[in-house]
Amino acid sequence: MLTELVRRTLEQLGARTDVLDLREHRLPQVDVRYHGSPEDPPDPAVGDLLHRVRAADAMVWASPVYHNSYSAALKNALDHLAIADVRGKPLALCGNGGRRASGQAADHLRIVARGLHGIAVPLVTTTADGDFRRVDGEYRIAARETIERAVAMCQQLLDYTDRFRTAPQDAVGVAAPASEGAS
């Protein structure tokens, strides 16, 4: 529901969105043999992930808080990516915790964003299970503050996207280093 709030907000602000839900988009466990050539794994779900990530000017990474961090499913998806897939892209980070809204998932994702040379925007949106109400069989976000925060985060993401719009490397005369690693 939090992801849906963010998606709708981005659309209202003029963005086109594509939601990749890892419950439905099942990915194989990352295979180290393909590290550095992520397009090689034969599984079409990986190819589809790469295609959609590469088509995106910006991304929102959202996860439940699992044991004080983000989910293993999201980490596995991110491990299928290479730095080139994320470098220079603005990222917004969201997390939902059980009892209390907690920044742990988003904060840990910020470190991963840095490793992939992404630009995580400062604002995050976090919720807890209690922020949602079931109305007419559907979950709704009950906290106005959450909605206001999501709007501010989405505005910041689109602002960063305009400012840091990725240009092809050769168009700006910057050659990528021969070997890059997270640090």
Ligand X SMILES: Cc1cc2nc3c(=O)[nH]c(=O)nc-3n(C[C@H](O)[C@H](O)[C@H](O)COP(=O)(O)O)c2cc1C
Chain contacts with ligand X (rule: CB under 6 A): 64-68, 96-100, 102, 129
The answer to whether residues 88 and 53 touch, using CB atoms and an 8 Å cutoff, is no
> What's the token pair of residue 68?
């004080």
Residue 137 beta carbon to ligand X: minimum distance, rounded to whole angstroms: 17
Nearer to ligand X, 21 or 136 (CB): 21
Taking the least distance from each CB to ligand X, the nearer of 36 and 130 is 130
Least distance between ligand X and beta carbon 67 (Å): 5
CB of 38 to ligand X, least distance (A): 26
Give whichever of 65 and 124 is closer to ligand X, judged by the CB atom.
Answer: 65
Residue 25 CB-density burial (10 A; 0-12 exposed, 13-18 middle, 19+ buried): middle
Distance of CA 65 to CAs 68, 71, 98, 144, 164, Å? 6, 7, 7, 21, 29
Query: Minimum distance from CB of 131 to ligand X (Å)?
Result: 11
115 or 130, CB closer to ligand X? 130
Q: Listing from the earlier edge strand, what are the strands of the sheet with 119-128? A: 59-64, 90-97, 119-128
Evaluate the CA torsion angle 5, 123, 94, 118 in order and state its sign: positive
